[in-house]
Structure 1
Amino acid sequence: MQHELIDVLIVEDENTLAQLNAELVSKHPRLRLVGIASSLAEARALLSNTQPQLVLLDNYLPDGKGITLINDPQIIRANCSVIFITAASDMDTCSQAIRNGAFDYILKPVSWKRLSQSLERFVQFAEQQRVWKIVDQQNVDSLYQLQAKNFRQDNGSKGIEESTLALIQKLFADEIARCFSVDEVVSETGLSKTTTRRYLEHCVEAGYLAVEMQYGKIGHPRRMYRRVAA
């Protein structure tokens, strides 16, 4: 049976992050990227033109805060859901997003695995809403569990800066088939070896990169990092 695609709009003013999120959306068989907006004004125009079912929304935008978009009449009319992906860690913003029905709230720097899980839960959530015309208590409980599923805290994100993480991820996004050693990433990014190793291991933990061991004739095997196929 062929499923309907879920249209997704990304609202993010940092181009590298927007492209990384777009790549993840585009590779999901049930999701369809319909646009990328870098400001509230662009977002409102695209909402009107594309009428998405899901918005990946940053809060800090050049012309205002993304949280104001959650009550936009176009989002309400289209029954559009929102996943916040933001550096806004203050309780006021978080509680406002929850009160206004945000499907999820993901803090930057974003774990690739965490966002993938959130998108997958939304796909299941949307499918169950489509199939179930009348619900019993078990159905309702299932929907709430999808929206409010608990995740273990990603302690590996502590001390990880979004701009540095994006720099690392962009290198692997541009060279999907290539394996990189720590020294090669240092050469490409200009980061220190200690910083590079920490960020690479964070990407492995987040499910964005995989490690392959390269065995030479002499000395210890080298850890090589490769982008995980979506």
Structure 2
Amino acid sequence: MIQPEIFDVLVVEDENQLAQMHADFIDGHAQLRLVGVARTLKDAREQLRQKRPRLILLDNYLPDGEGISLIDSELMRGLECSVIFITAASDMNTCSQAIRCGAFDYILKPISWKRLSHSLERFIQFARTQRAFKVVDQQNVDILYQLQSKTFSQDTGSKGIEENTLNLIRQIFIAGQDSLHSVDDIVSQTGLSKTTARRYLEYCVEIDFLSVEMRYGKIGHPRRLYRRHIPS
């Protein structure tokens, strides 16, 4: 059986909590491997030289400069490395520059985790397809461009899911990766209503961030408990 290719990923993000969430997100993916977290441009350049990742999740506003300067640098031109630009920079000039410099994708903060997941899946498909083609013809080129530019369609099933609240719940399970939590536990830790907590927990199950375990007591209904889902 042929093993799927694993793609090395470098996270460049100076916000500690967000950097950790990106790292955990990558670690939870069977076809991606986290090779490092850089919190400055200088550190990012050093890790790029040493680890030569296939993909960077790149923030723009870093303590010693702007991440966008890295995309079109001589260093990057010497690597086979794609960039998913994740930033609060919402001005069109920055967006246009990132596109001109060849960013694979551009995601605005606050991050939609479903949007990031979709971008990562497109990158994996793009990289696999790119390596599978032995001959460049117009059809192959068109396929690659379609993978890179494919429009993201918002899932109508995620209406009512607010990113800050979703991130709050995610962080509880990231902090205690092997711990089980009930709806009541989440209510106690977040102050959300039980209805809201249950809706967010079930959404996390839908997107494979959480899994469900049933605990049966001697009396009454079984308890529905939630745990961080780690792909096998």
1:134 pairs with 2:130: no
Distance 1:205 1:90 in 2: 33
Matched with 1:120 is 121
Distance 1:210 1:57 in 2: 29
Question: How many residues were matched structurally?
Answer: 227
Q: How big is the alpha-carbon RMSD for the aligned residues of Structure 1 and Structure 2?
A: 3.1
1:173 pairs with 2:174: yes
Matched with 2:193 is 193
Length-normalised TM-score, structure 1: 0.80
Distance 2:207 2:98 in 1: 25
Matched with 2:50 is 49
- Give matches, 1:36-75, under 5 Å: 36-75=37-76
- Give matches, 1:74-93, under 5 Å: 74-93=75-94
Matched with 1:95 is 96
- Counterpart of 2:193, as a letter, is K
Contact 1:112 1:207 in 2 (8 A): no
Contact 1:109 1:165 in 2 (8 A): no
Distance 2:128 2:134 in 1: 11
Matched with 1:31 is 32
Uncovered stretches (5+) of structure 1, i.e. residues with no partner? none
Uncovered stretches (5+) of structure 2, i.e. residues with no partner? none
**Sequence identity percentage:** 59
Show CA shifts across 1:62-95 (max 9, x none).
2222112111211111131100122222222222
Secondary structure in structure 2 of the residue aligned to 1:7: strand
Distance 2:159 2:72 in 1: 30
- Counterpart of 1:78, as a letter, is L
Shift of 1:157: 7.9
Length-normalised TM-score, structure 2: 0.79
- Counterpart of 2:75, as a letter, is Q
Contact 1:57 1:83 in 2 (8 A): yes
Shift of 1:211: 6.6
Secondary structure in structure 2 of the residue aligned to 1:151: coil
Distance 1:157 1:15, change over 3 A: farther
- Counterpart of 2:79, as a letter, is A
Secondary structure in structure 1 of the residue aligned to 2:29: coil
Secondary structure in structure 1 of the residue aligned to 2:111: coil
Shift of 1:150: 1.3
